[in-house]
Amino acid sequence: MKVLKSVAGLAALGVLAGCMEAPVTGSSGNRLDVEAYDAAVASIGCALVTDADYGAVEFQAGMTREEVLALTQRKLSRGQAVQLETGGIRLTTGTCAVA
């Protein structure tokens, strides 16, 4: 009976592991620091609109443009950011959550 419980427990862990989110990786294969991205975007007013905005986030977060764009797309697809009428985006979670 203990063996069956152990097998059931391992199966449950396997199912949970399948639900865990894979780390975000950049073009260089490195794991992206989502917290650094969020902090950098918050520091410029929570919106990415101009080339200068993206450049500031790249510099502060230590990411390439491709990595910033990939993480921005991920935020949009998860409802953690919204498209602005200006063509940019605004984060809507964490420090950037709209009250």
pLDDT score recorded for residue 51: 96
d(CA 30, CA 28): 6
- The reported pTM is 0.70
pLDDT score recorded for residue 30: 57
Q: pLDDT (tens digit, 0 to 9) for every residue of the chain, 99 residues total?
A: 554 444 444 444 444 444 444 556 655 545 668 999 999 999 999 999 999 999 999 999 999 999 999 999 999 999 999 999 989 999 999 999 974
Q: CA separation (Å) from 95 to 22, 65, 89? A: 24, 22, 15
Domains and CATH numbers, the chain: 2-96 (1.10.10)
